[in-house]
C-alpha cells in the first residue's frame, strides 16, 4: 500500500484513511505540508484533469488512469479511439462547418446528433428527424457529431473498476424519450443484462486502459455496440443495487488493490 494515501478530487473526502487536498488553481496555493504529501505519495488519487498529465509526466501513478482523463467528456476522441481499437461502435462522423448537405450524403433521417465535447446526463443529445431539427442543431453546435440511430429500447450501463465489472444494469427510458439517462427518468433494471454487453465493456476498459469508468453499451440485432464512456458517471444505478461506489474504491485503496 502506498503511503501516504493522497487524493486531490473530493470524491473520497469522507474516508479518513485518505488525505483529500481538494482542487486549487495553482500548485503554489497548497501549503508546504500538502506539497510535501504530493511529493511523497507514490499514487495520486483523483488528480483531476488539471493535474493528471503533470503527475503522470513526473512518473507518479495516478488513479483513475491518464487515459481516463484524456478521453473524459470528448466524444470525438472517444469515437476515434474505439475505431482504432476495432471495437463495435455505431457509425459516426464529425463534420466541421454547417455542412447539412454533406451530413445528408452520409446519414438518412432519423439520426442522432450530439454536442461533441463537455456534455453529460443526456444534455446535448438530439434525435434529428428532419431538416428543421438539423438546422437548429447546427446553429448551436460546432463541430457536428453525427451518429446513426439504433432503434433500441434502452442501453446497458456497465461500471468497471480496476478492469472488473462491479455493476451492470439496463437503462430503460420513459415513453416518448429516446435518451437512456437515469437523470432523464430512465428506469434501472438489473434482470436480463446480456453477458455480451458486460464482456464488451470490460474489453473496452482493458484495451483503452480505463481503470474506472462507466460504459454505455447498446444491444442491436443481437450484437453489442459501445456508445460512449464516462469517467464522471452517475452513481444512482449502483446505489439501487446497494453499491456505494466511492466506498468500494476507498476500501480497495485501503487494501492495496488500487
Kindly tell me if the per-residue pLDDT of 203 is higher than 60.
Answer: yes
67 φ, ψ (degrees, to nearest 5): -60, -35
Q: Where are the domains of the chain?
A: 6-63, 91-148, 155-254
Predicted local confidence at residue 24, as pLDDT = 96
Residue 202: all three cell numbers together: 470490460
pLDDT digits 0-9 by tens, 154-195:
999 999 999 999 999 999 988 777 878 787 778 999 999 999
CATH class name, domain 155-254: alpha beta
Kindly tell me if the per-residue pLDDT of 247 is higher than 90.
Answer: yes
Q: 211-244 burial, b for 16+ CB within 10 Å, e for fewer?
A: bbbbbbbbbeeeebbbbbbbbebbbebbeeeeee
Question: What separation in angstroms does the CA of 120 have from each of 92, 113, 231, 241?
Answer: 18, 14, 11, 22
Predicted local confidence at residue 98, as pLDDT = 74
* Cβ atoms 118, 111 nearer than 8 A: no
* % of the chain surpassing 70 pLDDT: 98
| Mean residue pLDDT across the chain | 93
Rounded CA-CA distance 168/238 in Å is: 8
Indicate the pairing of strand 61-63 with strand 187-189: unpaired
5 conformational bin, left if phi > 0, alpha if psi -120 to 50, beta if neither: beta
> What is the topology classification, in CATH, of domain 91-148?
Dna Ligase; domain 1 (3.30.1490)
Q: How confident is the model at residue 122 (pLDDT cuts 50, 70, 90)?
A: low
Amino acid at each position: 500500500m502506498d503511503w501516504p494515501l493522497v487524493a486531490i478530487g473530493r470524491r473520497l473526502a469522507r474516508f479518513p484513511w485518505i488525505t483529500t487536498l481538494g482542487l486549487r488553481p495553482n500548485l503554489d496555493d497548497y501549503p508546504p505540508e500538502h506539497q510535501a504529501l504530493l511529493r511523497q505519495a507514490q499514487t495520486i488519487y483523483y488528480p483531476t484533469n488539471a493535474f493528471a498529465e503533470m503527475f503522470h509526466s513526473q512518473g507518479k501513478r495516478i488513479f483513475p488512469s491518464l487515459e481516463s482523463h484524456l478521453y473524459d467528456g470528448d466524444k470525438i476522441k472517444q469515437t476515434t479511439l474505439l475505431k482504432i481499437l476495432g471495437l463495435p461502435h455505431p457509425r459516426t462522423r464529425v463534420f466541421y462547418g454547417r455542412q447539412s448537405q454533406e451530413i445528408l450524403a452520409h446519414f438518412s433521417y432519423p439520426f442522432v446528433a450530439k454536442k461533441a465535447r463537455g456534455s453529460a446526463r443526456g444534455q446535448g443529445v438530439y434525435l434529428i428527424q428532419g431538416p428543421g431539427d438539423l438546422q437548429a442543431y447546427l446553429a448551436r453546435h460546432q463541430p457536428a457529431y453525427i451518429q446513426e440511430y439504433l432503434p433500441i429500447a434502452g442501453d446497458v450501463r456497465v461500471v468497471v473498476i480496476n478492469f472488473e465489472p462491479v455493476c451492470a444494469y439496463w437503462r430503460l427510458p420513459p415513453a416518448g424519450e429516446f435518451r437512456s439517462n437515469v437523470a432523464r427518468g430512465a428506469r434501472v433494471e438489473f434482470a436480463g443484462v446480456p453477458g455480451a454487453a458486460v464482456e464488451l465493456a470490460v474489453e473496452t476498459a482493458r484495451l483503452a486502459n480505463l481503470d474506472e469508468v462507466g460504459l454505455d453499451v447498446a444491444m442491436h440485432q443481437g450484437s453489442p455496440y459501445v456508445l460512449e464512456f464516462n469517467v464522471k458517471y452517475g452513481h444512482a444505478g449502483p446505489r439501487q443495487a446497494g453499491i456505494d461506489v466511492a466506498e468500494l474504491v476507498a476500501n480497495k485503496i485501503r487494501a492495496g488493490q488500487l
